Amino acid sequence: MSSKCYQWIKTVGALLLAAACMSASSYSKVLAAAADESLQEQLAEAQEKGTVYVIAQDGSGDFTTIQEGVDNAASGDTLLIYPGVYEENVEIYNKTVNLLGTDRDSCVLKYQSTEYHKIPLTFGAGCVANLTIYGFNEGERENNRMVLAGSYDNSSLESIWEWQKNFSGYALHIDQNYTYGKEAYIENCRIISNNNQCIGIGCRGESTITFENCELISNGSGGCIYLHNTDDEKLGGETHFIMKNSELKNYLSPYVISMHSAGADNPVYLTFQNVRTSTVVYDNMDAYRENNMNSSFSIDELIALEQGNLLRRTGYDSGTAQEYITYYDQKESREYISSLEAGIAPLRDTIEMPEGLLCLWGQDSKKDDIEKAAQTGFTKRYVIDIFNSSQLNGDGWCGLDHIYLTPDSYANSLAEMNYPLSGE
């Protein structure tokens, strides 16, 4: 079997044979689900790994909540989640339980993620597929900002836990020692956060974390992705982070991606393929972190590359955007922010946002003023935030220590995600 969590098995016979291992109350539910060919294939593979339990809010399955299914499942089992809005804080620790929704739009896991340790989904390994995962916010949190590891006493687990309470949570969090030597695979999921980043990844060695055909939507102070490696030599070794055929929409945060390198024991290799990115840019320098260690393209350099058509000539454009840089003047920017305040429908619809960089300006100015600012040495801004515990620029991706972009990275709308970075 390949490393992918679910290799499609295209035979109804395999599914029916596997269903013999299934609980009686689940059998009819699985037969109904099998009408979807893709889901049929996923179920057949799941049955080779363990028992499939049905989660249905109407009581017709094995359990009515996802967490109840997790608590009763053995490692290797799968939860087949039927349509419904499940308002739960689902936590999977020290075992592999796969979560398989029947339909992404109608299978929704949501939870108020204003608390760092209480979010929609926390897990360490396994497969999550066909779900909308939504971390919402019913109120304001004063300290809603990115979590940077290293600002606590890392000799004390209690210290870390107390420090983390100061921050809001992700929608999906992978950060536990159980991940060491394992694989996490997230497919066909819509992940939405109104608080911290959509996904928070704490890497462990000898592991692979893959997102495929996913949509990450950030409408909070965090962007779409936060990733850090570990400085624990006992958990060292390579980590591979792969994102394919996915979309990042960052409506509000100045940074669409934030990464932190903690040390050399856990090198991380990043692969991006066909990732469409839409992210905002601000003219207000107060929005940007002063000690960002990013050594790649600044926003103003990206603007210059776009004006010279270099992005397209070097393959940096995904081919779907007519323009890589879009400018909103004061009126357009105000209307955009107002539309965000009115809210995003989390299940299906999102506010229109062009691919590439959306420049929001607090004055009635467009290209001329921005070009002038770049020519006069305007302080650099970046859409990717980089931090190294060494406090020095590294030789990795965008100046990171021990986190690298692989040559298999291509066809992404964000220039930094393509290899080679310089386009020579």
**Helix or strand or coil: residue 209?**
strand
pLDDT, position 192: 94
pLDDT tens series, the chain, 424 aa: 334 554 432 333 334 334 434 554 554 555 555 556 677 777 777 878 899 999 999 999 999 999 999 999 999 999 999 999 999 999 999 999 999 999 999 999 999 877 767 899 999 999 999 999 999 877 543 333 333 333 333 333 343 334 334 457 899 999 999 999 999 999 999 999 988 899 999 999 999 999 999 999 998 888 999 999 999 999 999 999 999 999 999 999 999 999 999 989 999 999 999 999 999 998 877 788 888 999 998 888 888 777 656 565 555 555 555 678 888 888 888 888 877 776 555 545 567 888 999 998 765 444 555 555 545 444 688 999 999 999 999 999 999 999 999 999 999 988 899 998 654 3
Residue 322 DSSP symbol: S
List C-alpha distances in Å: 109 to 66, 92, 135, 286. 9, 14, 9, 35
Copy the structure tokens of residue 328: 């909103």
Residue 379 DSSP symbol: P
pLDDT, position 47: 78
- Residue 2 has, within 13 A of its CA and on its CB side, a CA count of 6
Rounded to the nearest angstrom, the gap between the alpha carbon of residue 189 and the centroid of all alpha carbons in its chain is 10
DSSP string for 148-197: -TTSS-TT-HHHHHHHHTTS---SEEE-SGGGTT-EEEEES-EEEESSS-
| 123 contacts 189 by C-beta, under 8 angstroms | no
pLDDT, position 312: 55
Backbone angles phi and psi of 327, in degrees to 5: -110, 130
**Helix or strand or coil: residue 12?**
helix
Identify the CA nearest to 333 among candidates 359, 311, 297, 352: 359
CA distance 102 to 247: 21
Copy the structure tokens of residue 421: 């970075």
> Which residue type occupies 278?
S
**Helix or strand or coil: residue 345?**
coil
Query: 97-121 burial by CB neighbour count: b if 16+ within 10 A, else e?
Result: bbbbbbbbebbbbbbbbbbbeebbb
CA distance 288 to 277: 19
Copy the structure tokens of residue 391: 């406090």
Compute and round to an integer the Cα radius of gyration of the chain.
Answer: 22
Identify the CA nearest to 138 among candidates 65, 90, 216, 195: 195
pLDDT, position 313: 52
| 60 contacts 25 by C-beta, under 8 angstroms | yes
**Helix or strand or coil: residue 216?**
strand
- For the entire predicted model, the pTM comes to 0.84
Residue 94 DSSP symbol: S
| 112 contacts 136 by C-beta, under 8 angstroms | yes
Identify the CA nearest to 192 among candidates 220, 228, 226, 164: 220
pLDDT, position 120: 96
**Helix or strand or coil: residue 349?**
coil
- Maximum Cα–Cα distance across the chain: 72
| 354 contacts 326 by C-beta, under 8 angstroms | yes
| 297 contacts 303 by C-beta, under 8 angstroms | no
Where helices occur in 242-392 by DSSP H, the ranges are: 299-307, 310-313, 330-342, 367-375
Q: Where are the domains of the chain?
A: 113-417
